[in-house]
Amino acid sequence: MQKIMGTADRLIRTLIALGIAALYFTGRISGTLAIVLGIVAIIFPVTSFVARCPAYLPFGISTQKERPGSVPACRDLMRGSVLVSHLTSCQRAMLQGAGGAVSASAPPLPRTS
């Protein structure tokens, strides 16, 4: 499963859950509010731990930063001519297969037949 929650998102959720727990255990919230916030306080750490939030999926939301070598980041490079000497051979092959221009400074790719 792909992570869709970034570090900041996970930290904020954990802090909110701890805050709700503190309010409950100090007696500042009770009744229905305590039950609703208690459910939130249980869900937030779980979603933080697995780095996935089911509420994000229908909207395509992701707070996870893309790493430079990740496939989505490489797709952005396919839009134009790029210098690909810093890319892996797999990423260069993706660019060549997508019709992207590959700089002459990049080492040649091995041909497979």
Which residues are CB-neighbours of 40 under 8 A, at least 6 positions away?
Answer: 16, 17, 20
Neighbouring-strand partners of residue 102: 82
Neighbouring-strand partners of residue 82: 102
In tens, the pLDDT along 41-93 reads: 999 999 888 888 877 777 777 887 766 555 555 555 444 444 544 555 556 66
Parse the chain into domains and list their residue ranges.
Answer: 7-59, 66-105
Q: 3, 42, 5: which is closest to 20 by C-alpha?
A: 42
Q: 50, 51, 75: which is closest to 62 by C-alpha?
A: 51
The answer to whether the pTM exceeds 0.75 is no
Tell me what the pLDDT averaged over the chain comes to.
Answer: 74
